[in-house]
Homo-oligomer: A and B are copies of this chain.
Amino acid sequence: MRFLHNGCGPDREGEDAMTHQYKSARFDIDGDGIARFTMCKPEILNPLTDDLRDDFEAMVNTVEGNPDVKVLILAGEGRAFSAGGNVKGMAERKDAQAAQARTRLYDAHNWLQRLYNIDCPVIAAVDGLAYGGGFAFALVADFIFASEKARFCSVFGRIGLMPDLGVLYTLPRVVGMAAAKDLMFTCRSIDVEEAKALGIVHQIHRSETLMGAVDDFAARLAHSSKDAIAITKRTVNGAFESTYGDVVDAEANGQAVMFTTPFHKEAVRRFMAKEPSLYDWDRMTK
C-alpha cells in the first residue's frame, strides 16, 4: 500500500504538510494500482458535508494524472453509499444569498467534472442508499456495482430543488429521457433490480460479496491501457452532444497518439508473435 489517508481511523502523527487530512472518507492506493475512496461517516449516512467535499477534491488531486492509479473505487460505509445533500447545512445557510448557493455548485463541479473525466475507470460500489448527491456520485462512475441493499433516488425535488451535481447531465445519457423524467419528477426511490433494468447498475451482488466482486472487476480493468481508457472515457462522456465530425476529430487525433504508446506497440508485437494478449477480457473471464 503506497498511500494511506485514513480520515476515519485513529489520529496519526507526523502527517506530511502536503498531505490532505481526510476527515469524512478513507483513501488509499494499493500496490496493484487500485485506489479506494470510502466515505466513512456511516452514522450520519455519508452526507455531502464541507469535509466530504474537501476529501473528494483532495482525492481527485491525487488520482488525476497519477500513473500509479489504474482503477478508482468509490464506496460508502454503513447503510448508505451517500445520502447526498446535507439538509442540516441547508437549514443553517437558509439566509445565505442565492449567489452563494450558485458559487457552492460551481465549486463542487471544479472537482466533480474532473472526477467524471478522470483518467482511469471508476467503479461505484453501492451497498445502501445513493440519494441525491449520493446518486450523483454513483453516476459519475463508469460502472455501478450494487447489492440488494442499494436504493437510488433523485431526491432533490422532495425539498423543492432541481437535480444538481450533474444528475441532469449524467442520468438521461444512461436511462433515456422518459425514465430520467420519471425519476426526476416523482423523486421516487428505486431498488437495485429496477436500477439494473434501467441500465444504471452494471452488476448486482449480494451485500456480503459486493466488495469482492468489485475488487475482481477492478483487478481485470487494471490490465487495460490507462492511456486508451483515459481518452476513450473523455470522448464517450461527451459523445451525445458531439457531432459526427467532432468525434472524428477526437478519434483521429487521439488514435494517432495511441499508436505511439508502449502498450499498443507491445500488444501488436504479441499479436504478431502469437503470444498471450496484455488485455483480453474474454479469456480473463474463463
Contacts and interface: CB of A to CB of B under 8 A. Distances in A.
Contact of A142 (B176, B185, B221): B185
A285 interface: yes
Interface in A166-223: 166, 168-170, 172-182, 184-189, 199-200, 202, 220-221
A276 to B, nearest CB: 12
A61 interface: no
Which of A169, A254, A282 is most buried by chain B, counting CB atoms within 10 A of its CB? A169
Number of copies: 3
B268 A91 contact: yes
Interface string A100-111: 011101100100
A251 B107 CA distance: 13
A78 interface: no
Interface stretch (A13-21, A40-48, A241-249): A241-249
A201 B167 CA distance: 23
Interface stretch (A2-10, A30-38, A51-59, A259-267): A259-267
Contacts of A94: 265, 268
Contacts of A166: 244, 247-248, 251
Contacts of A175: 176
Interface residues of A, number: 106
B105 A255 contact: yes
A205 to B, nearest CB: 16
Given A160-B264, A188-B282, A256 B99 contact: yes
A221 B186 contact: yes
Interface in A147-181: 156-166, 168-170, 172-181
A228 B187 CA distance: 11
- Ranked nearest first, the 7 interchain pairs of A and B with the lowest CB-CB distance are A160-B263, A160-B264, A160-B225, A159-B267, A98-B256, A102-B256, A173-B177
Interface of A: 87-88, 90-91, 94, 96, 98-99, 101-103, 105-106, 109, 113, 116, 121, 142-144, 156-166, 168-170, 172-182, 184-189, 199-200, 202, 220-221, 224-225, 227-229, 231-233, 235-248, 250-261, 263-269, 271-272, 277-282, 285
